[in-house]
Amino acid sequence: RKLALKYHPDKNPDNPEAAEKFKEINNAHATLTDLSKRNIYDKYGSLGLYVAEQFGEENVNTYFMLSSWWAKGLFAVCGLLTGCYLCCCLCCCFNCCCGKCKPKASGGEQQEFCVSPEDLEEQIKNDMERDGETPITLQPTNVTEKTQLIGDSHRSYRTES
């Protein structure tokens, strides 16, 4: 409280450093009076408070556990042993990398239908000619700063009578 009174911006109006110091004092007071923030600060320091602000106070322990050296090593070993980093597990388990392991489609299923861009363009032209529609080919004219947005009549949007 003594420091807050000493560095209060009203008592030091010409000192911008006093205002910054006052903000730091208020942040420290808020951290020390909140029990969960105080525990996080005691355990992880200011980085813990930053993580709590970003991910939530309940996720701070999980964040620091997963960012430890042994967790990173465990992920690396598991990834290399299972082949996930080499895309082997995706090819064998999920059939999504190269398609070699993908099961063959049965005769009752429809095969994928693929249309080339040229055929699609020709089909669109034929449909438009048959319907009698012509495509819009005109672009709007350029607008400058002197272009009037509203005609000669002045519009009013007032609701008063």
As a whole number of Å, the end-to-end CA separation of the chain is: 60
95 vs 44, 87, 90, 104, CA distance in Å?
43, 11, 6, 12
> Would you say how long the chain is, in residues?
161
> Is 93 contained in some domain?
yes
Contacts of 8 (CB under 8 A, 6+ apart): 18, 22
DSSP H or E stretch at residue 123:
helix 117-131
> Is 91 contained in some domain?
yes
C-alpha 83/C-alpha 58 separation (Å) is 33
> Is 161 contained in some domain?
no
C-alpha 145/C-alpha 111 separation (Å) is 56
- The per-residue pLDDT for 158 is 63
> Is 46 contained in some domain?
no
C-alpha 81/C-alpha 75 separation (Å) is 10
C-alpha 53/C-alpha 46 separation (Å) is 11
Q: Tell me how many domains the chain contains.
A: 1
> Is 90 contained in some domain?
yes
> Is 41 contained in some domain?
no
CA angle 121–127–133, rounded 5-degree value: 110
Spatial contact of 60 and 44, defined as CB atoms under 8 Å apart: yes
Per-residue pLDDT of the chain (161 residues; tens, 9 = 90+): 677 767 777 777 777 787 778 787 777 777 777 888 888 888 888 888 888 888 888 888 888 888 888 888 888 887 777 766 666 555 555 555 555 556 666 655 555 667 788 888 888 888 877 776 666 667 667 777 776 666 555 556 566 65
> Is 55 contained in some domain?
no
Q: Tell me which residue range forms the domain holding 84.
A: 69-101
